Amino acid sequence: MRSRQRMFAAVMRLLLKCLRLGRRRRFKLVRQVEQLWHYGHLCLRSLLYNSFTNGDVVLDSLFEPVYWLVDHVTRWFGVVFVALVIGLTSSIVAIVYICLLPLILQTYTPAWICWHLAYGHWNLIMIIFHYYMAITTSPGHPPQTKGDLTGVSICRKCIAPKPARTHHCSICNRCVLKMDHHCPWLNNCVGHYNHRYFFSFCLFMTMGCIYCSISGWEMFRDAYVAIEKMKLLEKERLQVAANQTYYQTPPPTFSFRQRAFHKSVVYLWVLCSSVALALGALTLWHAALITRGETSIERHINKKERQRMQQKGKVFRNPYNYGSWDNWKVFLGVDVPRHWVTRVLLPSPHLPHGTGLSWDLPPCVTKQCTPLLAI
């Protein structure tokens, strides 16, 4: 009798324990659902917390996972992009020296030979110099302590002083002085100290590609016709072999050197023309930004600020716009007329105006800048 009572008590205790576990699991599931509900409600309120929220803010929030993925892919593949730029540029230079230069020396007049040798080597030196400086020069970073900095804000990501025109790079995970963008082809940010190198590289690379496309147009056309002829003759040779008409004379075949020469010329022209179009459009875009005294990030900010001030009946003025001509002189570091040769047409490692922490009026500016706001 006692053994039955003990067994019954044990079964009841086990049943109660199972009920408690089930109840705990249900309570835990309910708590998780409540937490998710509160988190979603908080996210929705964060998107609508002030009057500055618009469609751009909502889209940025929705695409935040995509941005995170792009940032990490760009960070890890930056070295691959740099190696790709070096490899493609080296292949073009090798084709020019091996295939095109002997033809130029044999067929062109002495005047044209001097022109091609002088311009081609000058353009190549400018490309190599500015690309090397762009990838090795630090864009500039603000100090981690405030010190003597005045009128600065605090970056909400790295919790450090954030001077004017400074922005946080999510790929480098640091604030960058006068940040324009993070360039994967440089594996580096484009900022205060290397912005000129980046633009000069884009400009001279575009000029070099246009030069190769124009100079090699006749060779490209002849090489394309020769390749089409090679394909036709190869097709005829296969047909002869299939019909087993040995009494016929097989069509002549091109040697490996001839095939490689024609395909290299076509590769050079197609690559240079494609890069000239794409990089040329990017260069024109940055030239327009420099003319207005803006960076890529500031253009977006100034556009929103201009719309906001327009609603209040005021006019927004960019305080860093000194006029088109003076903007270019400030950007290129031209203080005297001879600098157009020594600092623009020749390789020059001179530093830009200012330190990137404060923006005083550069000495080369001929007039005072307009105020920030005008009623």
Coil vs helix vs strand at 182: strand
Helix, strand, coil proportions of the chain in percent (round to 5)?
65, 5, 30
C-alpha–C-alpha distance, residues 144 and 164, integer Å: 15
* Cβ–Cβ under 8 Å, residues 216 and 265: yes
Out of 99, 169, 175, 183, the active site residue is 183
Phi/psi zone of residue 173: left (φ > 0), alpha (ψ -120 to 50 degrees), beta? left
Name the nearest CA neighbour of 51 among 294, 316, 312, 374.
312
C-alpha–C-alpha distance, residues 33 and 14, integer Å: 29
C-alpha–C-alpha distance, residues 223 and 265, integer Å: 7
Those residues whose C-beta lies under 8 Å from the C-beta of residue 137, and which sit 6 or more positions away, are: 188, 193, 194, 197
C-alpha–C-alpha distance, residues 175 and 1, integer Å: 81
158 catalytic per annotation: no
- Only one residue has tokens 């002849």, namely 222
Q: Which residues are catalytic?
A: 183
